[in-house]
Amino acid sequence: MTSAKKTVTTTTTTKTVHDGSKTIITKTVTTNTSLTTFDYSVPDTMKAVTFSSYGSSADVLEHVELPTPKLADDDTLSVIIKVVSAGVNPVDYKIVKGYLSAYLPMPVPAIPGADYSGIIVQVGSSVTLFNVGDKVYGKTAKPNGYGPYAEYIKVNSQTDLVTHMPASISFNEAGGISLAALTAYVGLATYDGLNKDAYYNKDKKVLVIGASGGVGMWAVQIAKRLGASVTAVASSRNKDFVLNTLKADAFIDYTQAPLAEQFTTADEFDVIYDSIGADITSNWDLAQLILKPGGLF
């Protein structure tokens, strides 16, 4: 174990997460803004949020003290990360409620979560891409009960998702990126058939429904990055964000009229990416009207 100290800048903020009308987590996180000292030594125990039975988050989540994850002799490719920020995704509360228990069994107690950002405090002997002190972000390969709703997390540098954090974003921003962005990318570049080489998408048109949401905002940016022309669907209050920040090519306000009434050209889109999915039959009917032959929804 390496024990060292390094000067960094930090500030403390508090974020409250809600499950319906109930507060389920109030989490204090530390991010880069004011002068302090960071200690790279790893304590024997850590604070964590866990659940030992399935149910409403407000009823089953507990704040507990647990042993801190350690690097075993065979953990040569793993790293220990001091968690600074952890994202909350819909799948996280669904796991806590037991909706996915048949597919994702959990140890007891289980630490939920997938997305994280933080600082590496230990590295395995075979790790070559990371060093102690690196700011990183990512997600666990799949929910496994050893998530980032804790002070420390152990991740495999090859099988989990972990990469260096861009200097231009904060820990809080990085801690909520991975799962939503990956969901958008896989949907567009795998199932929806945009080529990973932007050259082949230069004539393709993509419609993103729910363009201002957590997944939709990434779908707009990724589709643009992959060379496609993007029409974004959101409410009028998000128009400036979608057009000027996300750089969508066109905007449709779903609050003005039913979507089917706002399109004039049939067979217009190569891809429709629906990040909402609440009324799939309605959007499926829309897709029949505005997809090109062979288009994907």
pLDDT, tens digit (0-9, with 9 covering 90-100), for 65-123: 999 999 999 999 999 999 999 999 999 999 999 999 888 888 889 999 999 999 999 99
- Quote the strand ranges of the chain, DSSP E: 5-19, 22-39, 45-50, 62-67, 78-86, 115-123, 135-139, 152-156, 161-164, 205-209, 229-234, 250-253, 269-274, 291-296
Count of C-beta atoms within a 10 Å radius of residue 120: 22
Distance CA 167, CA 174 (A): 10
Average pLDDT along the chain: 85
Between CA 9 and CA 31 the distance in angstroms is: 8
> Could you state, in order of their start, the residue ranges of all structural domains in the chain?
5-175, 180-296
The one-letter code for the residue type at 297 is: F
**pLDDT-derived band of residue 4, with 50, 70 and 90 as boundaries?**
very low
What architecture (CATH level 2) is domain 5-175? Alpha-Beta Complex (3.90)
CATH of segment(s) 180-296: 3.40.50.720
Is pLDDT at 182 greater than 50 in this prediction?
yes
Q: What is the pTM of this model?
A: 0.81
Hey, what are 166's tokens? 């861009």
CA angle 31, 37, 42 (to 5 degrees): 90
**117 close to 165: Cβ distance less than 8 angstroms:** yes
- Position 160 scores a pLDDT of 93
Burial class of residue 184 (count of CB atoms within 10 Å of its CB; 0-12, 13-18, 19+): buried
Per-residue pLDDT at 14: 42
Q: What is the pLDDT, as a whole number, of residue 213?
A: 93
Model confidence pLDDT, tens digit, residues 111-121: 999 999 999 99
Percent of the chain surpassing pLDDT 70: 85
What confidence score (pLDDT) does residue 37 get? 62
Across the range 179-197, mean pLDDT stands at: 88
Of residues 37 and 156, more confidently modeled: 156
Query: Rounded to an integer, what distance in angstroms lies between the CA atom of residue 219 and that of residue 225?
Result: 10
Backbone angles phi, psi at 216, to 5 degrees: -60, -40
